[in-house]
Amino acid sequence: MRAILPVLFLVSTPALRAQDEALANYLLDGKQATVTRTDVALEMAFHLRRRDRGQQACEQLVATALTRRAAEQKKLMPTEAEVRAFWNQLQDQLRAAGRRPEEFAAIRNTSEAQWFADLAVQMAQERVVRAELGLGKNDAVGGDMLQLWLQEERKKATVVVDADTLPAGTAVRVGDTDVPLIDLGMLLLRTAEDEELDKFVQQVAYLNSLERLAAREGVTITSEDLDASIQKRAAEAQKDPRYRGATFENLLKAEGLSLAALRDLRTFRAGILVQKLADKRCTTAQLAAEIAADRAEVLAKHGPRRRIGLIFTRATETPNGLITKTFDEARQHLEGVRARLAKEKFDTVARIESDHNSTKLQGGDAGWHRQKSEKLPKAIVAAAFALPVGEVSMPLRTDDGYCLVKTIDVEPDPDDATLMARLREAKGIELGKQLLDEAKVERIGKPVGPGTTK
């Protein structure tokens, strides 16, 4: 049997309309509610439709439709018994390669009926290609041959994948057939790893909770709200040196979005809603009073940032093959490294010496942080805020080693209006976190995939 792993998930099939399965429980207005497969599939489809992953899934839907049409015309669709035999062979091949079928998200997240339908399409495509090329029943069909056949088949049909030209609720169009958006969502869901699936489950629960709260309090989004939020995003992008010379429209296009699509994006609108709800709870007078009561604390959380550089040496009490230095050795090593900085550039030395994987390739640049930042150890942030710009600390002990800290750059103190705006935005973020915490989202078990033989 040919190696099948490279093309195992080449095509998929339209979603089978089975009873909707609950993926998670959560609290909505204090009452029990569920997040279903359909909820998550639709959220994934709307959110990912224009991004690379969604575009790839749309191409799979096109491939499925073309394959089914050709196979049915030539009467080459396999029987259920043939599909089941193929699946048993495939399981044996995977296990022989040291893999368990349930390791694959596309198997783990799929019912047996759906999985067999997927395999039937894959088998059918190979049969069609063999028939087109006059190959024998057992002749191998490579991935290049399958792709070439799809390219030629696509030329015979009218295929539309551009979301801006399709009616609402349609993922792709193949000939006279409109493939619904739910089919795209189900394909995205079934190929999602657990981390991504958990993210969208929580996103559905959060958005439902937020929209229910807004409806209860009579908070709505106006066209002016959308315009203002887009203008704010565009202004922020214009200030970011990473996007210098790029228009906001082109930045959106790079994400597969347009201005119109952004306005309709549920998560974008949610950001506006949560901020309006937070503003309703915290008036300007209340925010001003909070700043006046403890300005230092507000500045520590929302005031000027410092750009922090790191050179880190890992250490342990008992050295081993992975961590070779004691804490004393790490400190002595960094004392020598610090002495070199009198003649060598910090970023060059960091690329050579640092054990901090996330910043090493950036020359030790850990980015911008406020005084109350939780993204770096408190001792490192405190050292950076005590140093003048350009200076490097003495070796600083952390839980897992020693570190040299440099203050690369400093922002000026914000004026009152800017500080007020940042505090207002923080209230919106806090409200969003509160809503998600109160939803108490709990996944219902973990999928194990279609019936696998042991």
Could you give the percent of the chain with pLDDT greater than 90?
77
- The residue behind tokens 């919106």 is 428
Architecture of the domain spanning 305-410: Roll (3.10)
Mean pLDDT of 269-279: 96
Q: What pLDDT, in 10s, does the model give residues 330-381?
A: 999 999 999 999 999 999 999 999 999 999 999 999 999 999 999 999 999 9
pLDDT band at 301 (very low <50, low <70, confident <90, very high): very high
Residue-wise pLDDT for 122-176, tens only, equals 999 999 999 988 888 878 888 888 889 999 999 999 999 999 899 989 999 999 9
Q: Which has the closest alpha carbon to 210: 36, 432, 23?
A: 432
pTM of the complete model:
0.81
With 70 as the cut, is the pLDDT of residue 9 above it?
no
pLDDT higher than threshold 70 for residue 448: no
**Burial of 334 from C-beta contacts in 10 A (0-12 / 13-18 / 19+):** buried
- pLDDT, tens digit, for every residue of 214-251? 999 999 999 999 999 999 999 988 888 778 888 999 99
For residue 375, what pLDDT is reported?
93
Residue 146 CB contacts under 8 Å (≥ 6 apart), including other chains: 7, 10, 125, 126, 129
Which H or E run contains 173? strand 170-174
- Quick check: 49 and 164 in contact, CB under 8 A? no
Q: 177 - beta bridge partners?
A: 174
16 has a pLDDT exceeding 70? no
Least confident residue range of 41-45, 100-104, 261-265: 100-104
Question: pLDDT band for position 3 (50/70/90)?
Answer: very low
Res 447: pLDDT: 59
> Residue 275 has what pLDDT?
96
CA distance 158 to 169: 19
| Tens digit of each residue's pLDDT (9 = 90 or more) over 169-222 | 999 999 999 999 999 999 999 999 999 999 999 999 999 999 999 999 999 999
- Average pLDDT rounded to a whole number, residues 387-411: 96
Residues 278 and 140: their CA atoms lie apart, in Å, by 62
Where are the domains positioned within the chain? 5-196, 197-297+416-439, 305-410
**Any idea what the Cα angle at residue 209 is, between residues 58 and 19, rounded to 5°?**
50
